[in-house]
Amino acid sequence: METLFDYLTYTKGVTYFVAFALMVGFVPFFLFLTERQK
């Protein structure tokens, strides 16, 4: 990677996927956390 633009394209693209996966992962985490209460 020679330009900042290429670097940003790569990192921001990856982070979109990572962040989205983490957000979806929060759902089972939250359900596991609150299951016992019910």
Partner 1 sequence: MSVSRRKFLQGMAAGGATVLTAGAAKASSIKHFDGHPGRFGLLHDTTLCVGCRSCEKACGEVNADSLKQVAAVTVGDKPKVDDKKRRVTPDSLTVVNAYAVGDKVVYRKHQCMHCNEPCCASVCLVHAFEKTPEGPVLYDPDMCMGCRYCVTACPYYALSYEYDDPVTPRVMRCTMCLPRIREGKNPGCADACPTGAITFGKREDLIEVARARLKKSPDDYVDHIFGEHEFGGTSWLTLAGTSFPNVGLADGYTHTSLPEIGTGFLSVVPLVITIYPGLLAGFYAFSKRAERIGEEKAKAAVVETLMQADEETKAKLAAAAKRATKDKEQAIAAAVKKALVEAEKKAAQAAAKEGASS
Partner 2 sequence: MSDHTEHRWVTPFNAVAAMIMGVAAVILFLRFTQGLSATTNLTHDYPWGLWIGFDVMSGVALAAGGFTMSAAVYLFGMKEYKPVVRPALLTAFLGYSLVVVGLLVDLGRPWRLPFPFFRQAGPTSALFEVALCVGLYLNVLFIESTPLALEWLGFKKLRKIVASLTIALTVFGVILSTMHQSSLGALFAITPTKLHPLWYSEHIPVHFFVSAVAAGISMVLVESALSHKVFHHLAETPPEQMDKITIGLAKGGAVVLATYFAIKVVDLGLGDKWHYLGTGWGAWYLVELLGFVGLPCILYLIGFRERMPRLIRWTALWTVIGIMLNRFNVSFIAFNWQLETRYVPHWMEIWVSVALVTGGIVVFRWIASRMPVLYEHPEYKGMH
Among 2, 3, 12, 35, binds partner 2 (CB under 8 A): 12
Q: Which residues contact 14 (CB under 8 A, 6 or more apart)?
A: none
Binding residue count for partner 1, defined by CB under 8 A: 23
Residue type, 5: F
Using CA atoms in the order 10, 12, 18, 23, what is the torsion angle rounded to 10 degrees?
-170
Binding mask 1-30 for partner 1 (x = CB under 8 A): xxxxxxxxxx-xxxxxxxxx-xx--x---x
Site residues (CB under 8 A) for partner 2?
5, 8-9, 12-13, 16, 23, 27
